[in-house]
Amino acid sequence: MGFVTTIKEFFAQPRFRQIFLLGGGAYFVALFALFRADTYYIDDWESSINPHTSWNHFSRFVATFLERLINLQPSVVDLSPITQLFAIAFLVLGGMILNFTIRKKIDYIGVLAAIPLGLSPHFLENLSYKFDSLSMSFSVLCCIVPFLFRENKIAFFISSVVCLLLMYCSYQASNGIYIIISLYITVSLYFIHKHSLKKAISFLLLCIVAFCIASLIYKLWIVKPVNNYVSDSVLPLSQLASGGLEHLSRYLHLLYSDLAYTPYFYAAAIMAVFFIIHFVQLSVRAKIFSLIVAILFVILGVCLSYGAYIILQKPLFEPRAFIGIGCFVALLCVASINDSLDSSHLMRLLAFCQKILVGFICYVLVIFATAYGNALGKQQEYIYFQADFLLRDLENVLPKDKNIAIEIQQGIGYANAAKPFMNAKHYGNIAKRLIPRVMYGGWFFAYPPLLNHRKFPFGGYGALECKDKPAESTLLLSNHYQDIHKAGSCYIITLKDPKP
């Protein structure tokens, strides 16, 4: 099938626009609280006051280009929620391509089944960024697009290399998506579509070669080396096995601790069972063999959802790097849909239960996203209040005729209205990891809210006067919210967490 013909067939699917709008509507309802909260998420505090924001230092050149393109100018301003609406469009389109790739059709239940692709609890961190959400979602789409052309080896290979390079230059953490889908299509070719083992393996090898070539091109000629809180360097060959297992172990531990005991966790586990049953039912190979392979795929899919980050020297373990797990759950949901009309009564009952489960997963993700958006909004209100209170105190005790070096220690904690979301067992440990501790000593983002909220002449994070400050200090001010000390030319602010 030709390149152009495949694209035409995809967009010519019945009720394409209605299905796209349904998917977009589901995302919009889920993210409405986040849009209404209008929050600055970590990097957004800095980006919102810096029109020259760029992502090139992390080799995310496409991200910079997309932001400039959306802004229609070389500078960047806050265009949310327009940027996030574009992100939604990318995610819905990615879910539709996933359906078309796996089921050769697009329908209403299919687009809902793909909702975990972009509404998984971990990906909510990606969507929280006013500026970065656009490129992060685009990177997800890039990992899925090549599989539209999997029946044409040349088109698939070329599009894989090109799209993977676009992904790397948009947001590198999405790479696990390509790996997961490649693995599923490989096993489905042999077990479901009656292709020979040779053809299935050749497809897998084609995926591996495309992935390796794109990764090498990016590593050798595009990437700008990074080595701070993360690193783009691969583990040395002697540490590849041990280091990779250590990173995988940490990833799986965080994944479990993030989601354990939440309704989404149990629903995804049940969906994995439905997937295994459906896979065995469709398989044309020996059923026991098919069962073993289906179970192995589920296990490998969870592990490989972290992608190539496993072998990096310093990979990122924040929720925004756990993009692949959302795609994996979406793939399980989509691949479990029973489209057969001549199934037994038992299989039809299972198919009905699976569709009910898809609806339940969508509902769980919508209420999680809504609760999260509201909690994040309350936390930002709290940050603004604390920043304003601190700046007024600083005005009263600091000299007015020169720039001041300050150092923030400890933190303001969390807004009382945000704590129920983070403490409820229903939302899991991921809820605590999603709400950032912005005004918290020890990192750069203790300071941007002060600059964002009100201009003040001080040198913040990393100021030399505070690096070399004397041990002794003088107390200038103390109240329920902060203490302000002077140590030499450095003013030390100790923020207080008013825990109930």
Q: Identify the pLDDT of residue 314.
A: 94
Q: Identify the pLDDT of residue 399.
A: 80
Phi-psi region of 413 (alpha: psi -120 to 50; beta: other; left: phi over 0): left
Q: Identify the pLDDT of residue 338.
A: 86
First to last CA, the chain: 65
If you ran DSSP here, which 8-state letter would residue 80 be given?
A: T
343: pLDDT strictly greater than 70: no
pLDDT band at 362 (very low <50, low <70, confident <90, very high): very high
Q: Identify the pLDDT of residue 425.
A: 81
Q: Identify the pLDDT of residue 328.
A: 98
Q: Identify the pLDDT of residue 463.
A: 72
Q: What is the pLDDT of residues 319-336, one digit of tens each?
A: 999 999 999 999 999 999
Contacts of 4 (CB under 8 A, 6+ apart): none
500: pLDDT strictly greater than 60: no
211: pLDDT strictly greater than 80: yes
Contacts of 83 (CB under 8 A, 6+ apart): 67, 70, 130, 131, 133, 134
Residues in the chain: 500
Q: What is the pLDDT of residues 415-467, one digit of tens each?
A: 999 999 998 788 989 999 999 888 888 777 788 888 776 666 666 666 777 88
Residue 159 vs residues 9, 40, 164: alpha-carbon distances, Å: 17, 35, 8
Q: What is the mean pLDDT of residues 269-287?
A: 96
* Cα dihedral sign, 216-220-224-227: positive
Q: What is the pLDDT of residues 63-85, one digit of tens each?
A: 999 999 999 998 899 999 999 99
Q: Identify the pLDDT of residue 459.
A: 63
Residue 207 to residue 11: CA distance in whole angstroms = 25
Residue 273 to residue 271: CA distance in whole angstroms = 5
Contacts of 119 (CB under 8 A, 6+ apart): 26, 27, 30, 326, 362, 365, 366, 369
In contact, 79 and 71? CB cutoff 8 Å: yes
Q: Is 344 exposed, middle or buried (0-12, 13-18, 19+ CB in 10 A)?
A: exposed
300: pLDDT strictly greater than 70: yes
In this predicted model, which residue has the larger pLDDT, 77 or 339? 77
Residue 213 to residue 387: CA distance in whole angstroms = 48
Q: Is beta strand 482-487 parallel, antiparallel or unpaired with respect to 404-410?
A: unpaired
Q: Identify the pLDDT of residue 418.
A: 94
**DSSP H or E run through 372:** helix 345-397
Q: What is the pLDDT of residues 365-418, one digit of tens each?
A: 999 999 999 999 999 999 999 988 888 888 888 887 667 788 999 999 999 999
Q: What is the pLDDT of residues 156-202, one digit of tens each?
A: 999 999 999 999 999 999 999 999 999 999 999 999 999 999 999 99
If you ran DSSP here, which 8-state letter would residue 224 be given?
A: P
Q: What is the pLDDT of residues 102-146, one digit of tens each?
A: 999 999 999 999 999 999 999 999 999 999 999 999 999 999 999
Q: What is the pLDDT of residues 224-265, one digit of tens each?
A: 998 888 888 999 999 999 999 999 999 999 999 999 999 999
Which pair of tokens denotes residue 314?
Answer: 């310093």
In this predicted model, which residue has the larger pLDDT, 451 or 302? 302
Bridge partner list, 440: 411
Contacts of 254 (CB under 8 A, 6+ apart): 317, 322
pLDDT band at 276 (very low <50, low <70, confident <90, very high): very high
Q: What is the mean pLDDT of residues 473-484?
A: 93
Task: Report the half-sphere exposure of 210 (CA within 13 A, side-chain side).
Answer: 27
